[in-house]
Chain A
Amino acid sequence: MSAFGMRARADMRTRRTSLIVLTVLTGLAGAAAMTSVAAARRTDSAYDRYRAATREPDVVLIGCPPALGFGAAAPFEQAAKLPQVASWARAWVTPVGLFFAADGKTPLFYRDSPEGSMEAPTAPGGLQELGSPLFLNGRAPERANEVAIGWGTTDGPRAHVGDTVVVRLVNVRHLDRAIRYTGGGEPPEGAFLPPVRLSVVGEYIPFGGLSGDDNGLVASAAFVQTYGRGTVSCTEGVFHLRGGLHDVDPFLRGVSSIRPGVNSFNLSDEAAAASGKTHLVAIVARLFGVLVALAGALVLGQALVRRIVLGANEDPILRALGMTRRQVANAALIPGAIVGIGGALIAVIATIAVSPLTPLGFARFIEPTPGIHADGEILVIGGGLIAAGAVLVSWITGWRMAGARAGVLGTAELAGAERPSRIAAAFARVGMPPTAVAGSRLALEPGHGRTAVPVRSAVVGLAIAVAAMVGAFGFAASAVHFGSTPRLWGVDFAFAAGHPYIGSRFEDKAVPAVEGDPGFDAVTAGNFQNALDVAGPCGSAHVFAWALEPLRGPLVHTSMRDGRWPDRSDEVALGQETARALGVGIGNQVQVQAGQTTIPMTVVGIPVFPDIGFGTGLGQGAGMTMDGLHVFYPDATQNLVLATFARGADVSATYERVNRVLDPLGANTVEGDVGSQGFRVRDALRSERLPLLLAALFAVVALGTLVHLLISSVRRRRRDLAILRTLGFKRGQVMWTVAWQSATLAAVALAIGVPTGILLGRLAWGLFADRLGVIVEPVIAWGAVALVIPATIGLAVVVGLGPAIAARRTRPAAVLRAE
């Protein structure tokens, strides 16, 4: 065995427990950070992987009999020859029908209506021809009397695998009666075929079903053959495009040029909704992981440094015995390697073990391959960083300590050993009790020889934990402030109403009703339905555009982070995330494209787009004038209206008046209060819990550091305490000395940690809000700060009780004899 090995054995023999604890803590902190980042990646990629795994189509064209009034007959064969098409298949769909639970009376999907739809593959390949929808339970139907039920967001009576459902298809002979039926009461005589009882064999997510209500059933081709005669049905052309969703617009324009007025739906809305839901959670998880990694590295790094410094007091002896500085420093690699490699292994194993709990939130629902997941990149990089970090920290500390000069006792002298504490000196000058003076000296002076304690690293470790705790509270306070301030998430108006799918009816009826209402003083109309491709020097983005034009009073627009809302047709405002992705800012030019039209536009502002349930919103999107939008979409109509109330207006009376017009249109209204948050803001506010969790974690770490410091200090400073006893200190005074030591450490850590934490909290919220694309307005959690200061000192004293009692029991004669 080499000298290196002998040193390692001695090290393990004397301080095995602390090494094991440090290794496990490093592993757990590493696992927390790696799991968060891996979860963020798995969450962020869930929708793309879901689409790839399910082979979800990009566009569906719907061709129905003219009598149903569902648009023009779809030219499937000609559309299939368009250059964007990669593959396509046909499906049978009945857009109307009655659907009940097993009793034949309770509506299946909605509380007050038995309406719904049903589809079935008609291509020879069955459902696989269309794609591979994700089955949450059970399997795809194969027989005529089998059916799978689609997942929807509506809270209606539902059926599950093993249940029976009752279906009544439309009778083609009395189609007119079926069309007139609105779902209430008994259906007209003969309008529907006799009921068919079907077994539910699976639950699945319908294509396009992630963006909202899409309740329906999927049956087998055998069902169509057995029960499809005598009913009315449509044909769906399910298209996969070469360029995916990017090809949707040119493909639909191609279809429109073949035959205008064809009914279709595409998956862009679903993609926007899904990415909105998953992206934010991913940002929070990633931020959490980075914070845990940073805090863990700082706190545990300090603990490792302390351990190596404590173990290095014999370094000058080793050098006197002929070991070179490098050999002595290499000995410090042993604990570093054990902590690093052991910690990395624990972190990797724990990260894989908890991976079935990821991805997070909505992404977990659509995860195509749930269960154990090993993110090789994160495991290798994270594990490598833990191992390399610990080894590097150990070696640098070991090298530094190997060069430390020997004191009169032959052991290493720690930095600062020769300088008495100014605080302790000040205590003595102002006549503080001897316990305070002695306690503060023990806290702030490292001491000499084998009884030395690395005070600086302990204070730094504690200060980091306090700073992280205060920072986490600050982050949470900023999140609460954000949640209660609509202006920060884009709602800088008192009232909004809109509907993207009712065409000109909104412009004809809703807009004039709001414009003419005396309760409003400024009214702006616009369109928020159309998507644009925007390209900058660093990339391109497919975003929804908000186009606005003032009708009465000044322009009402969404909140601006920076700059102004466009007032010319060649100007555009971009959300923060979009601008960042493109690599542009105010004053830069971007290329904006829709279909065949591409024009350069100048970025004049960075707005925040309210999350109103359509498109993505917040930091993603483009803002422009209606004239600007008409360059790309000449037929775009007003489907949005924003307004501010007139001074002294009766708000509820105003709502009542405009709602008389808006309600029958099914328009969504948004009031400029906390109720207008939208799911992305609500998701962001859930992040408030994470910092509180972090604060609790760091509070535990701070306490752990303090306890460790006090125990090791009291143990190593037994001789100093014994000398105090010989100088006349009573046992109670020894206890008070340790209490003062504890309180002094806490006070110094607070003095450094609180201001640093306030800055950290503001910085962390700033980064988070900036990533989100909302207005950055961090606040300071004064209440938490006021609580943290006395609580930390109080807790420090309480935590110091154990070591203080141990110190009280010190028998000076025994200690001094042994020393």
Chain B
Amino acid sequence: MDPATVDALEVEGLRKTFDAPDDEQIPVRALRGLDLAVSAGEFIAVMGPSGCGKSTLLNLIAGLDRPTAGQIRVAGESLEGLSEDDLAVMRRRHIGIVFQFFNLLEGMTVLENVALPAVVAGRPRKQAETRARDLLDLLGIADKSAKSPGVLSGGQRQRLSIARALANVPTLLLADEPTGSLDSAGGGEVLELFRRLHADGQTIVMVTHNEVVAATATRVVRMKDGRLDDDAEPAVAPRGVFGVLGDDGSS
């Protein structure tokens, strides 16, 4: 199959049902047959209210959870039937994740946080560190490389998280509410980064509940009750939005 013709991500009929919590009788149907295709180089925002299944979708795409039914293909490779170890290898090759709460490894330095995914993927330590330094430089936090993540500001922590997600040159950059824990300045920095990465050809799938943040993307899909609600271009122009974001990320 020609890589150029293959979608970066294909999702077909995806369903996910969680067992009922102890005190409830009815299982939770988080996804109810979702279809989605993301082309290489696309920057897509998945929007929807809380509890609509956005984070579940991201976890399934990253292979951190298994669907109840349906197909997921990342760079043409189906995740169906892959073992836990195979999924881990798939993540090394294709997936970079940016979390809302950063999820940095507090015991490691900034540089080690970024180098670790490449080392896990089997690159020599020196090479991984060189790549990590380049990324930290690119993201403007090279001077913090020997520090502990605990001393960074929120924006710097999320930039570090993005640098770590890019360590293995992933096919897909998955971002789960990347500005959700940041103030307007921090959020602006992160979205500007995403825009630059997209301009460089990085495929990005970003989950957010914020219209203005979603406007950064080239395509916005909306989720409601575990399904795609519609498939539309963003209503707000992607340029020059950062200045109008409020402290809570809303306009």
Contacts and interface: CB of A to CB of B under 8 A. Distances in A.
B112 A410 contact: no
A111 B20 CA distance: 91
A6 interface: yes
Contact of A321 (B21, B22, B89, B91): B91
A319 B21 CA distance: 25
Contacts of B117: 321-322
14 contacts: A1-B125, A2-B119, A6-B108, A6-B112, A314-B106, A317-B104, A319-B64, A320-B62, A322-B168, A325-B84, A327-B88, A409-B101, A419-B22, A450-B106
A14 B112 CA distance: 14
Interface string A421-432: 000000000000
Contacts of B64: 316, 319-320, 406
Contacts of B91: 320-322
Given A2-B119, A6-B119, A410-B99, A324 B108 contact: no
A10 B97 contact: no
B121 interface: yes
A325 to B, nearest CB: 6
A13 interface: yes
B193 interface: no
Interface residues of A, number: 30
A411 interface: yes
A324 B116 contact: no
B37 interface: no
A433 B23 CA distance: 28
Contacts of B200: none
A776 to B, nearest CB: 47
Given A13-B107, A14-B106, A324 B88 contact: yes
Contact of B85 (A14, A317, A326, A409): A326
Interface in A292-345: 314, 316-327
A375 interface: no
Interface string B164-195: 10001000000000000000000000000000
A14 B121 contact: no
B105 interface: yes
Contacts of B116: 3, 6, 321
A10 B103 contact: no
Given A10-B105, A317-B104, 5 more contacts: A6-B115, A6-B116, A314-B106, A323-B120, A325-B84
A11 interface: yes
Contacts of A322: 88-89, 91-92, 95, 117, 120-121, 168
A332 to B, nearest CB: 14
A409 B97 CA distance: 14
B89 A317 contact: no
Contact of B97 (A6, A320, A323, A411): A320
Contacts of A411: 103
Interface string B105-144: 1111000100111011100010000000000000000000
Interface string A396-419: 000000000010011100000011
Nearest to B125: A1
4 nearest A-B pairs in the assembled complex, by CB-CB distance: A10-B107, A322-B92, A410-B103, A14-B107
Interface in B48-105: 62, 64, 84-85, 88-89, 91-92, 95, 97, 99, 101, 103-105
Contacts of A13: 107
Q: Which residue, B21, B99, B107, B115, has most C-beta atoms of chain A within 10 A? A: B107
A319 B101 contact: no
Q: Which residue, A2, A14, A322, A327, has most C-beta atoms of chain B within 10 A? A: A322
A321 B106 CA distance: 15
Given A3-B120, A321-B164, A409-B101, A10 B112 contact: yes
B119 A3 contact: yes
Contacts of A14: 106-107
B107 A324 contact: no
Contacts of A327: 88, 120
Contacts of B21: 418
Contact of B119 (A1, A10, A316, A409): A1
Contacts of B115: 6
A319 B108 contact: no
Nearest to B65: A405
A1 B97 CA distance: 24
Contacts of B92: 322
Interface string A691-710: 00000000000000000000
A282 B21 CA distance: 57
Interface string A1-21: 111001001110110000000
Nearest to A313: B106
A9 B115 CA distance: 14
Contacts of A418: 21-22
Nearest to B62: A320
A302 to B, nearest CB: 23
B85 A324 contact: yes
Contacts of B101: 409-410
A476 B134 CA distance: 69
A323 B122 CA distance: 11
A11 B107 contact: yes
Contacts of B105: 10, 314, 317-318
Contacts of B22: 418-419
Q: Which residue, A1, A419, A450, A818, has most C-beta atoms of chain B within 10 A? A: A1
